[in-house]
Amino acid sequence: MKKVDEIYYKARKILLAPSDHKAIRGKVEKRMAEEKKHREDLDAHGPEFVVLLRPHTVWEKMNVTMSCIVQGAPSPTVTWFKDGIPIKPPDAPGKYTIENKIGLQTLEISRCSPLDSGRYSALASNTHGEAWSYATILVNKYQGSDAGDSICLDSARPEPDVDILDGFAVSFPKEGGSLTLSCCFSTPLNGQSGEVIWLHDGALLKESPLVKIATSAHDTRLTLTHVYKEDEGLYTVCLFTPTGCKEHSGYVFVRDAAAAEPGAAGSPLDVECRDVDRDYVLVAWKPPSADGGSAVIGYLIDRREVGTEEWVQCNHIPEKTCKFPALGLCENHTYQFRVRAVNAAGISRASRVSEPVTVTDRTAASRIMRIWTDRGEIVVTKDELEGDVRVPFPPTQLRVTEVGQTFAALGWNEPDPRGREPLTYCVEKSVVGSESWQQASMGITVSCPRFAVTELDKGKVYTFRVKSVNKYGISQPSAPSQGIPFGQIPAAPCCPRNVVPVRDSRTSVELLWEGPEDENELIGFYIYACQVGTNNWEICNNKPVNTNRFTVHGLSPRKEYVFRVKSVSPAGLSDYSVESTPIIVDNSISLPSAPYGLTLLSSGKREMVIAWNKPKFPMGPDILGYYLDCCDAAVAEWHEVNIKPITARVYKMGNLTEGRFYEFRVFAMNWAGVGPSSAVSDQFKCEQWTTPEPGPPFHLECTEVRNSSLHLHWQPPIYTGKDEVTGYLLELCETEGGEWRAINEKPTPSTHLRVSPLDEGKTYIFRVCALNSAGAGVPSLPSDPVCALTRPGTTEMGTGVDEDGNVFLVFQCPEVTDTSEFIWSKDEQDIATPERVRVETAGDVCKLILVDPGDADLGMYSVQVTGTDGLSSSHTLTNEELQKLKELSHRKKHPVIGVKSDWAVELLDKGSVRLWLQVESLSPAAHLQLIFNQKELSSNPTHRINFDRASGLVEIIIQNFTEADQGSYTAQLQDGKATGQFTLVLINDKFRALLSECDFQRNEWRRKQGPYFEKYLSWVVTDDCETLLTCKVTNTRCQTQVTWSKDGQPLTQPTYDPNTGTSALVIPQITKIDEGVYKVVVSDERGEDTSVLKILDQVFDDILREICTIAGSTASDLKMQPTAEGIKIYSSLKYNMDYMKKSWALNNKTLESQDRRRIGSDNHEVWLQIFNPTEADKGKYTLEMFVGKLTHKRELNLSQKVFDEVIAEYQRLKQAAFAEKNRAKVAKGLPDVVNVIENKALYLSCTVSGDPSPEVCWLKNDKEVAASDNCQVTVDKTSVTFSIQKVTSQDSGRYTLLVKNKHGSESAVITVGVYKCGEEATNQ
């Protein structure tokens, strides 16, 4: 090999020099073959012990199991040795049992003796090597220890063995939920006592985000945080202990989650990726078991890149088969896939996401060769040795790998040699029989030797070929593939046949069937169950089972079921198989397990009394008897004690030899035969017992196990000591290795005791000691471990009274079997007076009927159901409860018709009256008799009687209720033995009120035959303080008229809307004038109706009060306004009326109107005027407006600062008023326009005022007019005159009179027009 390496090293150096490429290539291929074989050798490895053997220390006559787990490739063979000598089971039949359970190697040694002590070893070997594991076994005697001579072992007492208790049961989680499986240990684990692993369908489970495993000293738990269909299967917990491997298994059935759409199919499962290449992945999955009621027509495949949340749909046409090629992937990218099923109802929920897969060139590794030399590592690629390949060679071995509904998947080998240049491929297709080839990979770059061809025509036969492409050109086409017909959907598998159900347990059935023949791609089977008579088929498994046998769990006990099976393949599901024969779910009949707990109850000189416990399994068939064997320890020969079976579990055996040691064993027998023997008892010495203390009690049993209590029973000891037993002391222990503690401080005289409180979920064992005057005797054997937990579905005993009046106690047991019996007892004793009770059993319900209930029947009643793993219940019947039951019994035997609703009265249309009574439902034979005033009343046109027996309704319809209908009405009912009498009295005030209401209803009916008021006339005050009178009429026509009047005088202001029937009158500001009687009449040819509203007295006051209430609420805050006279304080409101009283106050002192302070108001303001304000006017002003008891209050604080500002403004306004009063003014007299005839005189005169007297000036066209002979201006105190003796056209213009003094000025403008005689005067 070293020489070859050197040759390759030299070849690498001269690679570019001319050489014989063919020879070099041959050597490289040979080297690559060697490398391939080397890699295969690396994958294979010698044996390796994952779990080593452990040492064991056991007592003699116990069984011991040694176990280990070994791995290797190929699978190693394990050989067992003792002290270096191979163990051969055939040489010692029944002594050794060697098994291989999926890598778990076990060696079981039965009934160990001291000779079995020694060094044991396991040799694992395959073609790659060997591995050893060693451990020792020490077998101790009960008296001292005696190990074998071959090895010296420590004889210390062995640690308590650990076992699995309270294992998980069959589970039915829902898809998408969570699940926790747990097991408890009999004793706490420590570093040496045990190791725990979990398996799913035989595969080791490891921690992951979806799988959590937690193991403590007391229990182990497996949690599936998110349950998928793939999680369905058999889960096993393995506990490796020094005595062997303890296992517990339970099946987990995953139910479908709610459909994404109503009627949609279930989600597919087991999505996996195959044939991964550069841009290609073949996705495969398994079809769902539930189709939602319509067949699955195909599947949609989605993909996403790892690290993103976006899913991309790969196909738009649903693919019928369970395979699909995903194309167009990016090399070296990682993808995940999921699948959804499609049927007529819609699309299902998505499957579980596949494991991530990275698309890479799968041939890249095979093209690289690594060579190790003394000079280092040499890497040679195949491309470097192939030379300069220009135009590529064609691909080889073209084949069609998969054919689906929408695709045909192709595969081929690369051309050899391939060349150094990157290579792609061109795929072509052709219909067989034609000479034309079409490119099938148009627009798609095919970079790997796999491709899926789509867009093929159904019904045609296609063949394919491939060309290699590089930068230098295109190769010749490959050899064409075989012709394949496209469009032929692969046929679904054949259905299974010969489906046979077999009883398994109370809630399960084992199903067997034969699968279809010649089905190469068969995935498994789906099972469906239906309770007979329901036609409701339920899915039993959501993950295909790949065997022809399956146990269906979760069935209802004692119900009849039929089953059918479907085959599963990538093409889909088969049709249903033929239904199985019906089967009733119940326990199977099998041999009983071994009795156990053999104990010595008493011993004499030549006799012994032996007792034992009944077998634990099966619980269904009755034990017909027992066979007892005896062995003299000195002789070591077994012989039968009894020929006929013993029905009791206590046996007194005589003819023994005093002083000898004896061993015993017991066999149980039922209808299936004789079961295995019990473990051999301890060696008991036959001698006379003389101890003064009593012997051990026996047959401890726990019944009525609940979360916090249980009932413990036992049998008194056979050997009582020197005198009678006076009581019993009880002890409990939480686990077998725990400490015993007392339950009762004072001895209990009875042989039963209710033990409480207990911790829910904890496991206990119990034992009992008998007491007499000498003290406590030997304790009993410990009871079986019992977990303080109420079994799901447990029911309690109840009491009741049946329809015949019988008092009974009842117990329902859903788990009852064909052979089960209900065993009743009273006060823990068989019922001493069976003539006082009667037992009736129907299905899973049993009644204990008390024939003549009395004080003798008081006490505690118990019931046990055989064949149900101890289902039981008890009930204490007290005197108080018995009296209530007897009262109920009396009512049942002498029944009275119960009333649901006593007599009631209803008013109907047109003033009719309905008298009705309702009692409990009556039979069709019920009879009614109605009595009115001591006379029988029968149905007639005026008094119609209805009697509905089914609803218990009795009614009398009186069409015209009058004085003659006053009196008493009595209904007498009889239904079988039940009777009832019910009376209604209608007299005096009750009758008068009813009659008055009838008359009113009758009149109302007449009124509503024509137009009538739906809402009578009423008033309302609006937000604007207007009074609105409205009414509404209905049942109107076009001819209907609505007229208003007040005090008999017609009104024309009201409005009427025929569309809504509303009529209204608005009174803007109501006053005393508006008081009166308002009347509205609606009428047409059918009749009329009237509505009257009296707005008088109290009503008028109410309107005013409402107006004032609204107006007062709208009052603004007090405001302040300086004036020339002083200060005005006021509040604005929408409407002010004298009806609303007002009060002003200053600093909480009422103000009255006076000379300096005047109070006033108008329609929209309330004010206080202060003249000549002074400092005394400062303070807080309050305005109170009273409307009945309602007060509206407004306030204003006139502080010093504000007062000063107001006074300043007041002074300013006062001065401005004075100036305004005394300034120069033109008071009156001057016109705006004057027209004068030419040569006539113009005379203008006016009055002026002002203090001091104003100066007067006349202007013409804004120029002062000078006085002349023709134009004169005269001022006489307050009179001013302007005259022109003879006007001319030049005197036309705008004249202005300007007056002024020190307080101000004012002007008046006059336009003067001059026209000639004969002309028409015009206004300028």
What whole-number distance in Å separates Cα of residue 99 and Cα of residue 122?
Answer: 13
Are the beta carbons of 522 and 493 closer than 8 angstroms?
Answer: yes
C-alpha distances (whole Å) from 696 to each of 318, 599, 601, 602, 775 are 76, 9, 6, 9, 13
Sign of the CA dihedral running 453, 459, 463, 469: negative
Positions of E strands within 570-624: 572-573, 583-584, 596-603, 608-613
Q: Which of 364, 467, 481, 362 is nearest to 415 (CA)?
A: 467
Task: Tell me which amino acid residue 203 is.
Answer: A
User: Would you state the pLDDT for residue 667?
Assistant: 94
- Cα–Cα distance between 1047 and 1076 in angstroms, integer? 6
Gap between the Cα atoms of 383 and 370, Å rounded: 14
- Judged by phi (left if over 0) then psi (alpha if -120 to 50, else beta), residue 728 lies in beta
Say if CB 1267 and CB 1185 are below 8 A apart. Answer: no
Residue 750 neighbours by CB under 8 Å, 6+ apart: 828
In the numeric block, the tokens 């204003």 are attached to: 1196
CB-CB contact of 700 with 783 (8 Å): yes
What is the per-residue burial (b if ≥16 Cβ within 10 Å, else e) of 269-280? bbbebebbbbbb
DSSP characters over 422-453: --EEEEEEEETT----EESSTT--B-SSEEEE
For the segment 1242-1278, what is each residue's pLDDT rounded down to a tens digit? Answer: 888 888 888 888 888 888 888 888 878 788 888 887 8
Question: Contact 701/617 with Cβ under 8 angstroms?
Answer: no
Q: How far apart are CA 643 and CA 626, in angstroms?
A: 10
Rounded-to-10 torsion of CA 174, 176, 177, 181: 80
Give, rounded to a whole angstrom, the gap between the first and last alpha carbons of the chain. 139
Task: Output the DSSP codes for 622-669.
Answer: PP-EEEEEEEETTT--EEES-SSPB-SSEEEE-SPPTT-EEEEEEEEE
| Residue type for position 540 | C
Cα–chain center distance at 726: 58
Show Cβ contacts of residue 215 under 8 Å, excluding neighbours closer than 6 positions: 189, 196, 221
What confidence score (pLDDT) does residue 156 get?
39
Those residues of the chain that have pLDDT short of 50 are: 1-2, 4-5, 8-9, 12-13, 15-20, 143-158, 1323-1324
Rg (CA), the chain: 58
- How, if at all, do strands 211-215 and 967-975 pair? unpaired
Cα 712 from Cα 728, distance rounded (Å): 12
- Tell how far CA 865 is from the center of its chain: 37
Q: How far is it, in rounded angstroms, from Cα 168 to Cα 269? A: 26
CA pair distance 515, 538, nearest whole angstrom: 21
Q: Is 1210 in a helix, a strand, or coil?
A: helix
> Which residues, 6+ apart, have CB-to-CB distance to 1045 below 8 Å?
1051, 1078, 1079, 1081
> CA torsion 403→408→409→414, rounded to 10°?
130
Alpha carbon distance 725, 718 (integer Å): 10
Q: Which residue, among 304, 307, 311, has the nearest Cα to 347 in the 3D structure?
A: 311
pLDDT tens-digit readout, 781-802: 998 888 888 887 788 888 988 8
CB-based contact 567:519 (threshold 8 Å) = yes
- Residue listed under structure tokens 């064609």: 394
Strand pairing of 661-670 and 684-685?
Answer: antiparallel
Give the tokens for residue 1267.
């006085």
**Under 8 Å between Cβ of 541 and 255:** no
Q: Is the distance from CB of 983 to CB of 1060 less than 8 angstroms?
A: no
Sheet holding 118-126, edge to edge: 56-59, 129-140, 118-126, 77-82, 85-86
Q: Which residues contact 272 (CB under 8 A, 6 or more apart)?
A: 283, 284, 285, 354, 355
What does the pLDDT read at residue 387? Answer: 62
Q: Measured between alpha carbons, how far is 610 from 597 in angstroms, rounded to an integer?
A: 10
Residue-level pLDDT at 158: 46
Nearest-angstrom CA–CA distance, 692 and 672:
45
State how far the Cα of 330 lies from the Cα of 496, in Å rounded to an integer: 43
For residues 7-24, one letter each, b for 16 or more C-beta atoms within 10 angstroms of the residue's C-beta and e for the rest, the string is ebbebeeeeeeeeeeeeb
Would you call 852 exposed, middle or buried from its count of C-beta atoms within 10 A (0-12, 13-18, 19+)? exposed
pLDDT of residue 792: 77
Closest CA to 1309 of 1233, 1200, 1202: 1233
Phi, psi of 87 (to 5 degrees): -90, 125
For 269, residues 6+ apart whose C-beta sits below 8 A from its C-beta are: 228, 229, 230, 285, 286, 288, 351, 352, 542, 543
Query: What distance in Å separates the CA atoms of residue 253 and residue 526, rounded to the nearest whole number?
Result: 12
- Give CA–CA dist 587/415, Å, rounded: 66
Cα dihedral 93, 99, 105, 106, rounded to 10, equals: -50
Give the closest residue to 688 by CA, choosing from 751, 605, 799.
605
Amino acid at 61: K
Placement of tokens 């609105």 in the chain? 1028
74 preceded by a cis bond (ω within 30 of 0):
yes
